[in-house]
Structure 1
Amino acid sequence: MKTRRVFSTPDLVTARAAMQAAREAGIHDDDISLVARSDIEVGHIPNKRKEADSDFVPAAMRGALFGGLAGLLAGAITVLVFPSVGMSWAGTGLVALAGALVGMFASSLVGSSLPDPVRQKFDGEIKAGRILVLVDGAAELLPAVEVAVTRTGASSLPFDAPTALIR
């Protein structure tokens, strides 16, 4: 499993140097992204480097999981406690599917309006015009990556989260 680390750089030159240092320390190019103020991102950062701006996908996945579990529970209770209703176990499966779909829809709507966790936590850095370098890597690589990236002038920020929970 990969873990995300966040580094703050004062400008695009330092951000590029930090990215190169991360690559040289063993991080795959696809596991490096940038976050900056919108005027900086639009003019200077390629689309493939931009980090997602919302919590849409993670929220949709959580909504599907919890909605499906709620539907499964409601269906099972109906079958076991209220047999006179006449619902079958197949009906329970359909209720669980409906719960997953409704949960996914509702959560994705809310999630699309929320900025991703990095933007939430480091809003002040972003508003100040600093460029954040996000690195996703295996735990055994990250100490060497941190040393290499901070040598470029980047500052390590307090963020350490499994990448699977962010995306």
Structure 2
Amino acid sequence: MASAHRPTLRLVPATGEEPRSTRWFCGHCGALSDVVPAPPARVCGDCGLGLLLEARDDLVPQAGESFLIVDAALAVQALSAAAERLLAVREQDVVGRPVAELLAPADAEAGGPTGFAHAIHLSARGDDEPHRATVRPANVFGVRMSARVGLCGPPRASLVVLE
């Protein structure tokens, strides 16, 4: 008589890596929140316009920094007031539009696994490691900006902080 062998669950040893600290911030004004918001209460209490999002401490925008929220399809989902001024656009005019209409890689040769679009795609798909890219406004040449790109959400998206 053959015995049925079923798989068993085992405890996987820890990797020794410390859990990363995260913060909640407003997707419009960038204001930080010290409390984890309940799902129906995720609208920013400071500006009343943005959705509170969570990101790693080392990625969260500082007060007044320009940033965009971009989904895995590379479409802009939110834009800070500082980014509106920097890129000379209004949020309501660019939400749902491709990020390439606002920002382009500053290095025409930068593509593949190290490019700007690839960094956004990785982050929006759940890669927790922040990436760096050099970008320029899509309609301006000769201007270069450094960008921090990383995971934020929910819903899962990519945070692009322009420095």
Is TM (by shorter chain) over 0.5? Answer: no
Larger Rg: 1 or 2?
Answer: 1
TM-score normalised per structure 2: 0.24
